[in-house]
Structure 1
Amino acid sequence: MPLLTTKIPTRPPIRLLLLSAARPLSSTPAPAGGASSDAQAQKLERIADELLSLTKAERDDYSILFRLKLGLNQWIPAGGVLAPGAVGGPVAEATKPAEEKEKTAFDIKLEKFDAASKIKVIKEVRTFTDLGLKEAKELVEKTPVVLKKGVTKEEAEAISAKLKEVGATVVLE
């Protein structure tokens, strides 16, 4: 049975990796040997030495710049932080301000009321809450207080209009 032989490259493996990394992305093969491959290897070694001499902050800045130059800024890196200037992505959508959304649920807050119209305010509070006379009176006396939470805009405006008619000062939050 014949033995299988493999051809061992004459160059060390790290040198092959360096040369393959330095090879341009064109379809032409790299030269088989000579001065240009040595020059590429020296250039790569010089770049690697310079990168290793950078501080941690400088390396972070360089990695961001390198991703931007390669057009990789639209993906989230392993650290989970988007590169500056990155547009789109789930993180960018999550960080949009909540002010763009229109408020749909309101809280009705009783700020103050006229002392003469206290009974009218208590009666009006009882109409839109399920409170008894005693509970409504205690609630009105705790002014400023939130009377009702999470109501729609139309309902909140209707309730605030009724309370303003009887002499209360109401704020929609």
Structure 2
Amino acid sequence: MASTITKSLFKHLISSSPKPPVSRLFSTATAQNRTQKLERIADELLDLTKLERYDYSILFRLKTGINRYGLAVSGVTSPASSAPGSGAAETKAAEKTAFDIKLEKFDAAVKIKIIKEVRSFTDLGLKEAKDLVEKVPVVVKKGVTKEDAEAIIKKLQELGAIAVLE
């Protein structure tokens, strides 16, 4: 019973639906051309190798101004403003705010002091800190502000270690 009501309601909706405007009837040729063009582009993209598709996706994102996190800050760029090297200049102009501390070398005599110091500015346990220090050269802390990183590096250098800011 419910299916007959649904069928009759469906037939009523179809028969009472408005007819497309006349201008739409004449534009089917352009719609078919657009569809054929899109199908041709899709076929060409599918013929690419994985590496070529990856390169294409990067190129497409660059040309449309879309980066990994969404639209670029400046919006969609025009072809004139997307000159080679302009993106690299913008990245270099942005100042780095998060730094990594890399422990490059230390004297074996001060190994225990270095481990204690690494534990003081990380949340590592004794074994984890020891394993980390023994893997020299290694990044011991990531994403630190410049002031904090310089203070930590100074402490490590006072103990006899060679640490750098990356």
TM-score by length of 1: 0.47
More helix by share: 2
Higher relative contact order (CA 8 A, sep 6+): 2
